């Protein structure tokens, strides 16, 4: 009886450790950026955009997209499967309204190996623009854009399988630009 009890306790302990480790690993791969550290900037900003759309709201909004409309269908397809879209954008009247620490509080979360930087353009006059992508093997887990201009600070965080191919195909719709992301070549009917 005592031996059985010890074995059960050991098995439980190992299982609990496994669950804890799995949870920590999953959490570490979570491409959600904590943006709350920037909330204090809202008081200084002349204009603030704060978008928090979770999976449920995305799915709810997706129902309103018209499948017969080509553009809306594309957007619906793009947002389908996303787990969240979070945006914080602050526009200030004066320069230096936000600090380097504010930017670093976001940048510190966008580190390897979870995140890979796609683009980093730094200009003393115009500020910085950084584009990050979270990958798990070939799967895209999320996208982050950090734009710190003299009078504007914007952070975009898209959580979920952002299909870069679909994103690239959306060029022209909503002014979504070409990021140099070439879609995988799929043979069209004419090529068959």
68, with CB counted inside 10 A (0-12, 13-18, 19+), is exposed
CB 4 within 8 A of CB 11: no
100 binds another protein (CB under 8 A): no
β-partners of residue 5 are none
For the bound state, the minimum distance from the C-beta of residue 39 to another protein, rounded and expressed in Å, comes to 18
Footprint (CB under 8 A) of another protein, residues 103-142? 116-123, 126, 129-131, 133
Given 7, 16, 30, 71, the residue binding another protein (CB under 8 A): 16
62 binds another protein (CB under 8 A): yes
Given 47, 49, 71, 136, the residue binding another protein (CB under 8 A): 49
How far apart CA 78 and CA 165 sit, in angstroms, is 9
99 binds another protein (CB under 8 A): no
Judged by CB under 8 A, the number of residues near another protein is: 72
53 binds another protein (CB under 8 A): yes
Given 47, 99, 108, 177, the residue binding another protein (CB under 8 A): 177
The radius of gyration of the chain from alpha carbons, rounded to an integer in Å, stands at 21
CB 142 within 8 A of CB 160: yes
For the bound state, the minimum distance from the C-beta of residue 62 to another protein, rounded and expressed in Å, comes to 8
Q: Which residue has the tokens 């006059």?
A: 125
Check residue 116 and report its DSSP letter. Answer: E
Cα-based torsion angle of the residue sequence 103, 106, 108, 111 in order, rounded to the nearest 10 degrees = -120
42 binds another protein (CB under 8 A): no
Residue 52 dihedral angles phi and psi, to the nearest 5°: -130, 100
186 binds another protein (CB under 8 A): yes
Given 35, 147, 153, 159, the residue binding another protein (CB under 8 A): 147
For the bound state, the minimum distance from the C-beta of residue 97 to another protein, rounded and expressed in Å, comes to 18
19 binds another protein (CB under 8 A): yes
Q: Is the bond preceding residue 113 a cis peptide, omega within 30 degrees?
A: yes
């Amino acid at each position: 009886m005592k031996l059985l009890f010890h074995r059960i306790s050991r098995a439980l302990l190992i299982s609990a450790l496994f669950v804890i480790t799995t949870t920590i690993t999953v959490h570490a791969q979570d491409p959600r950026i904590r943006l709350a550290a920037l909330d204090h900037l809202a008081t200084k900003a002349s204009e603030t955009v704060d978008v928090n759309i979770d999976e449920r709201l995305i799915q709810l909004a997706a129902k309103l997209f018209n499948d017969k409309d080509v553009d809306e269908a594309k957007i619906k397809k793009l947002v389908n499967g996303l787990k969240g879209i979070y945006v914080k954008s602050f526009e200030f009247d004066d320069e230096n309204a936000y600090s380097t620490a504010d930017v670093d509080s976001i940048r510190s979360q966008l580190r390897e190996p979870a995140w890979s930087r796609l683009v980093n353009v730094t200009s003393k006059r115009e500020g910085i623009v950084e584009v990050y992508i979270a990958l798990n093997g070939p799967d895209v887990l999320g996208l982050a854009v950090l734009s710190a201009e003299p009078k504007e600070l914007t952070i975009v965080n898209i959580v979920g399988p952002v299909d870069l191919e679909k994103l690239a195909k959306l060029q022209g719709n909503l002014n979504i630009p070409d990021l140099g992301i070439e879609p995988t070549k799929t043979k069209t009917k004419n090529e068959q």
